[in-house]
């Protein structure tokens, strides 16, 4: 079995798999995977954890983001402060998204309960953070 990936111009992996073909047909079969504007190459990688940089499969870096806390009052004022967000990061809470324009973002809610905050910014790995919003005292 020969592992392969297909990827786009940004290095984002779109497909991966193993080819079960004779050795003399491996290159031809990998080349056949390159279509719809994608390139193909030998190697193992998964879209969630890897990307292609200068023709090599590498691990995607972790987001350099931190949260100052994960529990807040559900009062619309108390906030989780996210720092280290790259410009262009998409931060989503309860199906509402905002784009980071700098290194810091405050997250508030008026809805008590557990909430998933997801952060995406290529080429970083996606990050999910759970925050708990308590009924205000």
Residue-wise pLDDT for 57-86, tens only, equals 999 999 999 999 999 999 999 999 999 999
Q: For residue 61, what are its two tokens?
A: 């870096």
Please count the structural domains in the chain: 2
Looking at residue 137, its pLDDT comes to 81
Same domain as 129, residue 106: yes
Least confident of 28-32, 53-57, 122-126: 28-32
Among the candidates 59, 81, 98, a domain finishes at 59
54: number of CA atoms within 13 Å, CB side? 0
Same domain as 91, residue 55: no
Are 95 and 125 in contact by the 8 Å Cβ rule? The answer is no
pLDDT, greater one: 136 or 111:
111
Looking at residue 90, its pLDDT comes to 97
Are 58 and 41 in contact by the 8 Å Cβ rule? The answer is no
Q: For residue 112, what are its two tokens?
A: 């008590």
Are 36 and 7 in contact by the 8 Å Cβ rule? The answer is no
pTM summary value: 0.85
Looking at residue 102, its pLDDT comes to 81
């Amino acid at each position: 079995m020969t592992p392969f990936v297909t990827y786009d111009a940004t290095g984002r992996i779109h497909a991966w798999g193993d080819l079960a073909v004779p050795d003399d047909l491996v290159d031809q079969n990998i080349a056949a995977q390159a279509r719809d504007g994608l390139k193909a190459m030998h190697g193992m990688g998964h879209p969630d954890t890897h990307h292609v940089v200068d023709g090599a499969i590498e691990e995607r870096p972790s987001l350099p983001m931190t949260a100052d806390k994960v529990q807040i009052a559900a009062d619309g004022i108390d906030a989780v402060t996210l720092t280290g967000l790259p410009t262009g990061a998409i931060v989503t809470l309860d199906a509402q998204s905002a784009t980071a324009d700098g290194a810091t973002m405050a997250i508030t809610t008026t809805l008590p309960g557990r909430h998933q905050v997801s952060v995406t910014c290529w080429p970083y790995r996606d990050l999910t953070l759970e925050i708990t919003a308590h009924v205000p005292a």
